[in-house]
Amino acid sequence: MTTAPDLLLRLVAESESEVERRRQMRPVADLERRLAAVPPAVPLAPALRGDRLAVIAEMKARTPTMGLLAPIYEPARLAGVYERAGASAISVLCQETSFGGDPEHLVQARSESGLPLIRKDFIVTEHQLLEARALDADAILLIVMALTAARLGELLGLCRELGMEALVEVHDEAEMDLALEAGARVVGVNHRDLTTFAVDIGLTERLRPLAPPDIVYVAESGIHGAADARRMRDAGADAVLVGEALMRAGDPAAVIEELRVR
């Protein structure tokens, strides 16, 4: 694990506290029973490859740095809007304390969309993975900065055992190496520096040569329009993950269409 900034450490601690509460609500035995009735996961990686830049459309009610994004937050309605607009996958923010999320939002999103659903959270426990699959998530986010190399490998292995994919998030060259060594097949480059919160979309251009061509490459944060999307596509990105721009947009469908450059 690289040195994690204070905010990330706080968010991970909040998520761990949330997990402890949910262990009481959803013991592992209950999750395992529910797993038996969940349909197979929708493959994430193939959904992100195509003639046009794929859009992972994110939903979140608020953030610790930007505050409230959606006074009325309706995951099911948003999922339907995102799918009809041409999104390739949906990222559902499930962390409650700082983002206003809930794992049950996965169920709500699934009620209106058949796209791959990603549980976006600060995942460090097996319970979070089991819960994600039991609630019909198809993929999860793993943040290299929040995990040791050994833990990253363990959680990625369990993710695959459960039939899910992982979007493995990196911030620099060292983390890219760790992600690839762990066997990541879908890598997300987060342009936001978690220490200063500055955004540098040039990071995608810098790190893309480090990833083999068969890796699905996702550019995250700071993507606001067609010019940014074109720059990411030209740099070799298969997909962009966009949240704030969609949550603040009067017409998120139009934003998604604008981002789907060829």
What residues act catalytically? Answer: 58, 60, 120, 169, 190, 220-221
Q: How many Å apart are CA 206 and CA 210, to the nearest integer? A: 8
Name the helix (H) or strand (E) containing 112: none
Distances (CA, A) of 238 to 32, 102, 136, 164, 261: 34, 28, 24, 19, 11
- 3-state secondary structure (DSSP) of residue 32: helix
Tokens of residue 70, six digits: 């959606």
Q: How many Å apart are CA 98 and CA 62, to the nearest integer? A: 7
In DSSP terms, 92 is beta-bridged to 59, 119
Distances (CA, A) of 218 to 41, 150, 211, 242: 20, 23, 11, 10
